[in-house]
Amino acid sequence: MVISEADTTKIVNSLRVRAKELLESGEVKVIIGYGEGYTKGKAVPVFITDPGKTDQLIFDARCVNNLSMYLKHAEIKAMGKVGIVAKGCDARAINVLILESQFKREDIFILGVVCEGVGDPIEEQCKSCVANTPPVYDELFGEPIENQGWNDETFAKIEELESMTQSELWNFWVKEFDRCIKCYACREACPMCTCTRCITDKNQPQWVPTSPHSDGNYHWNLTRAFHLVGRCVGCNSCERACPMDIPLSLVNWKLIKAVHDEYEFIAGMDAETAPPLATYTEGEETDFIK
């Protein structure tokens, strides 16, 4: 561990002080951060508009949520400039959202926090973090640390799946997706699910069967995965939100790795480089379109 308990206390204290200043000066209208949860051991998102209440802010390993998902909501945008506490994966998601014109960089003030990983025990995706020091911020809390980078362990299960025969793989995923109850918690928790009306909610025509059954579940989960190719930041918010414990991270990391191997691209490292599947240049090979 590079960040000591004393460092964490310092980070939290400075976050509280700066958040107070930002609200008092009117530079931001609301601070989105983490506060104590109602259940022991949990942190919850907090939305602070009163400068007298910034002592609610906390930051520690319980702060697992990717708060950037709130920035796309009209209710938040209507409040004015937003201050947001962002660890690396939140900051990467912010970059993707800016790139996709969900809001402008100047509409938000990023209180970046250096993070060594969240969860207890530390979550798997944190062991392969490429943004322990957030790639974008207005002010950084904590001393910059080196990014851990991809760890073979994170890909071990994916390699195991890759070694399966087609029918074994099919059976594996049918069994997992069969448990899906179509609650859409994964979609709601995901910063990258930005459509105001999701394809799965459309019934004229109906693209994805709405009831939770084998065919529709497979269709829904794969449609969502493909919409996230080159955009997913691997924060694991979707898997964490899933009440049926479906290992969505295996789908996400498979696609994250494929995009990296094929295009040397990792989503959200800056707000300028468009994802490979969202760009097209004249003269590109199109032989595959027949």
Binding site residues, ligand SF4, CB under 6 A: 66, 180-186, 189-192, 221, 228, 232-238, 241-244, 246, 252
- Residue (183 or 199) nearer to ligand SF4, CB: 183
CB of 241 to ligand SF4, least distance (A): 6
Show the CA angle centred on residue 141, arms to residues 189 and 23, nearest 5°: 75
Radius of gyration in angstroms for the set of CA atoms belonging to the chain, rounded to a whole number:
20
- Residue (226 or 263) nearer to ligand SF4, CB: 226
- Residue (9 or 263) nearer to ligand SF4, CB: 263
CB of 5 to ligand SF4, least distance (A): 28
* 32 DSSP β-pair partners: 47, 84
CB of 185 to ligand SF4, least distance (A): 4
- Residue (8 or 236) nearer to ligand SF4, CB: 236
Q: Which of 277, 242, 246 lies closest to 262 in space, CA to CA? A: 277
CB of 156 to ligand SF4, least distance (A): 18
- Residue (156 or 181) nearer to ligand SF4, CB: 181
CB of 211 to ligand SF4, least distance (A): 12
CB 123 within 8 A of CB 129: no
- Expressed in angstroms, the distance from the first to the final Cα of the chain is 53
- Residue (14 or 148) nearer to ligand SF4, CB: 148
Strand 30-36 relative to strand 43-48: parallel, antiparallel, unpaired? antiparallel
- Residue (11 or 238) nearer to ligand SF4, CB: 238
- Residue (154 or 236) nearer to ligand SF4, CB: 236
CB of 71 to ligand SF4, least distance (A): 13
CB of 101 to ligand SF4, least distance (A): 18
CB of 88 to ligand SF4, least distance (A): 12
How far, CA to CA in Å, does 258 sit from each of 81, 99, 117, 266? 36, 21, 24, 10
